[in-house]
């Protein structure tokens, strides 16, 4: 779910690196939702996006949307509030995400910034817990210059602080290749944090610590604006995730 400007440019790199960046279209077939994939359709966009026809995406079957709200501790995407309002008015379950920069500041500081700038949660039947988008660094070293143990601590600091601020465990968006390289098998995040996995085409590989995914981004473009996603469950289960029930 990195800023949309990166997705297409890095699609070929995603294939070469085993989908270590969010899914991009390696071919036309990569943008088609695999027929055997169960679940509810949705999509993800940047908070810089300006024009979404919410009625059209709802009519096309979208049930949820993720909107990138913040990056690091210095950037809030400008249209987040308006996009959330539009999605809610159309009846979509809505989540926001934070693009992590672990080399810029601590995990707790970034969780605080996210919670205060679009990542808050409320039990309104439509708001998902916030998402930590942590993946290959578009600005430099893949693992942001951190060891696996340091990255594990960074993620733990983020999700624990987000929990303290909102009462919810964050969703974690990542890929198996990046996570296993940069975080490793420690942390046991799968016990609390739902997985939003990025991966092209067929059933995606899962990062260490998770036995299943909750959301899957299977393409960078398709029926809906932005990334093409599915929720691994029913409409009632999606509402239960939103409401923490």
The catalytic residue positions are 44, 133, 135
CB 1 within 8 A of CB 220: no
220 CB burial (10 A radius; 0-12, 13-18, 19+): buried
Cα–Cα distance, 67 to 25 (Å, whole number): 20
Contacts of 153 (CB under 8 A, 6+ apart): 107
- Tokens representing 231 are 């929720």
Instruction: Using DSSP, state whether 219 is helix, strand or coil.
Output: strand
Taking the CA atoms of 8, 9, 12 and 16 in sequence, report the sign of the dihedral they define.
negative
């Amino acid at each position: 779910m990195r800023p949309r400007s990166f997705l297409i440019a890095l699609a070929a790199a995603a294939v070469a690196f085993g989908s270590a960046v969010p899914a991009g279209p390696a071919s036309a077939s990569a943008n088609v939702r695999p027929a055997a994939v169960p679940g509810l359709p949705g999509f993800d966009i940047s908070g810089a996006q300006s024009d979404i026809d919410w009625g059209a995406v709802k009519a096309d079957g979208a049930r949820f949307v993720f909107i990138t709200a913040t990056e690091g501790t210095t950037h809030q995407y400008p249209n987040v509030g308006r996009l959330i309002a539009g999605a809610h008015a159309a009846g979509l379950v809505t989540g926001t995400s934070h693009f992590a920069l672990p080399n810029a500041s601590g995990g707790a500081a970034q969780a605080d910034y996210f919670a205060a700038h679009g990542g808050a949660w409320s039990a309104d039947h439509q708001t998902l817990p916030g998402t930590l988008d942590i993946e290959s660094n578009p600005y430099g070293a893949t693992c942001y210059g951190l060891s696996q143990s340091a990255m594990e601590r960074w993620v733990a600091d983020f999700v624990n602080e987000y929990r303290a601020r909102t009462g919810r465990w964050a969703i974690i968006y990542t890929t198996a290749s990046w996570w296993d390289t940069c975080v490793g098998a420690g942390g046991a995040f799968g016990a609390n944090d739902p997985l939003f996995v990025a991966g092209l085409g067929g059933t995606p590989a899962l990062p260490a610590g998770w036995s299943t995914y909750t959301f899957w981004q299977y393409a960078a473009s398709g029926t809906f604006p932005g990334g093409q996603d599915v929720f691994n469950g029913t409409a009632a289960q999606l509402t239960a995730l939103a409401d923490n029930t």
